[in-house]
Structures are given as C-alpha cells and as structure tokens.
Amino acid sequence: MSPPARQESFPGRSFGAVVPDEFEDWRPPEPTRSDRSPTRRRRAASARSSSRPIWGRIPDDEIEEVARQAAERRAARYAARQRFLGRHRVSAPRKAPALDVLREVGRGPKILAVALAAVILVAVVLFALPWLKVQRVEVVGSSVVSRERLLADAGARWGESTILLDAPAMSRGLLSQPWVRQASVEVRWPSTLVLNISALPAVMVYQQGSEQESLAASGASLGQVPNLAPTSLPVLQDQRALPAPRAGSLVLPGRLTRALVALAKAFPTAYDGVAVDRYLLSPSGALEIASNAGWTADLGPVLTSAEIQSTGQKLEALRALGDQVDLKTAGIKEIYLEDPAQVSISY
C-alpha cells in the first residue's frame, strides 16, 4: 500500500506523513516568488559586523564573530547602566547572611533574645519615668553643710534615677568627710532620698579675727559658735592672714588638734596648777601657749608632721623647768622652747 499523498497546510510548507524509507530522499518544496518565508534572509557579509541581531541559523565559521558582537553589546549595556545608576553592581543583590544565620538558630535562643530585648525596653522606660528620679532629699540628724553640698558629698544629684543609686557607696562617701561621725543613706521609692547624718562633737574653738568656729577632733570646722562660753573649750586664736574657713572643711591637722585638746586637759596637773588660757598661732606658724599665770610659752612652728612630733620634747623641757622654777608665781613673761636643749626665760 502506497503512502498517502502530502497535503500542504499553507504556501511554502508541507506537512505530510513521511515513512522511514523516504526520510533520506525527502526535501521541502521550493518556495515561489509570491510566497513569503517567515524567516529573515541572511544578510550580506558587509552587514554582519553591525550591532543588530542576526536571525536564522548561524554558520559554524561565523559563531565566533557573533559571540564577539554579543559580548560587545553586553559590555555597552553594562556601561550605560553604570553611567545611569552611578554604582558598581556585578551581580543581583543577595540576602543578608544574618537572616540565614537567624533561620538556623533554634527556638530557645530566639525566645531568650526576645526576653532580653523586652527587659532592656522596660529598663529604658523605667529610667525615663519622671517619678523614678530623685525629687526629694530628707536630712535626718545634724548636718553642718547645706543639703546640696551634702548630696554632692554623697555622690548623688537631683533628677538622678533612683534605680541607679548605690546606697552603700553613698554612705561611704559621707563617712569620708572629716566632720561626719555616722552616716547612712536610704532610698525610699519612688523619688525620695533619706540621708541619716551625725556630726562629730566640738572639742576646740577656732578664732580668726572676731569670728569663732567650733572644731572637731579631726580639725574640721563645724560652723560658727557665737554664743559659746569662753572657758568651756580650749581656744586657738589664729593670727595668720587666711580666708575664712568653710563649714565642713579642714582647718587644722587632726593630729595637732587632738594634741592641743589633750594638753589643755592635762596641763594643770602637769604644771603646778597652771591652766591653758588659749593657744596662739603666730603669722609665721609658731604655736604659743598663753597660761592663766600670765606667761607665754613659745613652742616654735607646728605646721608639718615633724614639727608637731617635736612638740612632745618641748613640753618635757617645760616640765623640767617647772621643777626648777615656780611657774605660777615667779613673774615669768616669756618662755622660749623652740630649742628644747636651750630653754630661755624672760621676766
């Protein structure tokens, strides 16, 4: 049985059944002049170097040339894009590696991170709240300085968050002041700071000009005492030209202050009933003892630690002089003890 005849579906094309025996001999029909082929004609050799694309089958000997033209077109498009965008981009944008790492993290660490972020957010909100800041300061006890200075000595300030206050550290800051005997700090929520303070007792009166101030055993000023009785505490009259001391500041070395207080108590017993009327500190820094017997003992400078330490030897020389001379009724005016080995007396 012979194969069915081919049937043309449209001019220039033939779609018929082809049996294997006729496959090698079959050729497409030749198109007529009136028929238009859907493929483009092959360009002349002179037009192959243009930048317009070539349609149709590319001969083997022209593949390299076509590839070169395609590379040139890609390079031209890339350069135009770089001029337009103004940035260098060699590949498509990649996702941040942190996202890939986050996907690999388990559920437990994610929950922990969210909880930590929530805690930080709550802390920030609490720190920003106005009612969790220092708005009131209460001072319980006796203070020789103002509330603002007391707050500064404690290491706090107005408007500071009460969450950040360290009460033990503030207590240590107050105890480091030379006039403080006991101190403690208490934080009362939400915005009150309580300072419990007690000052050292007064052991001496420091007089400079017409102003009198009480001194603690540490040598710190405790403030003015205009109504203090003259004989209740030993008096030190400073003749040096110094600015007026500020309450709470050091006026004399603590070692010298304690030595003078102890000497005033033991003087009547050690020196035949003669008492200390007052101490004098000359403009040169020399210490003089004015007794109630009318004489004055010059002990020399007492401004350094070595000079203060040498005061003991000078007082021993004065005691030895008391064994030889009646310090109470001898009519002595001046005793020079700056050199304990050579004590001199003036009548």
pLDDT of residue 96: 63
Between CA 328 and CA 292 the distance in angstroms is: 9
Q: What is the DSSP string of 200-263?
A: PPP-EEEEETTEEEEE-TTSBEEEE-TT--TTTS-EEEE-S--PPPPTTSB-S-HHHHHHHHHH
At 11 the pLDDT is: 46
3-class DSSP state of 106: coil
Closest by CA position to 195, among listed 206, 207, 185: 185
pLDDT at 148: 92
Pair type for strands 180-188 and 204-208: unpaired
Q: How many helices (H) and strands (E) does the chain have?
A: 8, 12
The per-residue pLDDT for 92 is: 57
Check residue 1 and give its pLDDT: 47
Tokens linked to 194: 């309580």
Q: Which whole-number Å values give the CA distances from 225 to 15, 91, 121, 127, 219, in the listed order?
A: 129, 86, 54, 44, 15
What are the sequence ranges of the domains in the chain? 103-128, 130-199, 204-346
Bond into 190 cis (ω within 30):
yes
For 19, 230, 251, 254, the CA distances from 248, given in Å and listed in that order, are 122, 22, 9, 13
Q: Is residue 52 left, alpha or beta, with left meaning phi > 0 and alpha meaning psi from -120 to 50?
A: beta
Per-residue pLDDT of the chain (347 residues; tens, 9 = 90+): 455 554 444 444 444 444 455 445 556 666 565 555 555 555 555 545 555 555 667 777 888 888 889 899 999 988 888 777 765 555 556 666 666 666 777 778 878 888 898 888 877 776 666 777 888 999 999 899 999 999 999 999 888 888 788 999 999 999 999 999 999 999 988 889 999 999 999 999 999 988 899 999 999 999 987 665 555 789 999 999 989 899 999 999 999 999 999 999 999 988 888 999 999 999 999 999 999 999 999 999 998 989 999 999 999 999 898 888 888 876 889 999 988 888 888 88
Q: Which CATH number, 3.10.20.310, 2.40.50.140, 3.90.1560.10, 3.40.50.300, labels domain 130-199?
A: 3.10.20.310
pLDDT of residue 290: 94
Of 28, 37, 32, residue with least CA distance to 56: 37
Report the DSSP beta bridge partners of residue 336.
298, 344
The pTM for the full model equals 0.62
Alpha-helical (H) ranges within the chain are 63-85, 97-104, 107-128, 147-154, 167-175, 254-270, 305-309, 311-324
Report the CATH fold assignment for 204-346. Rossmann fold (3.40.50)
Q: Is 95 left (phi over 0), alpha (psi -120 to 50) or beta?
A: beta
pLDDT for position 93: 60
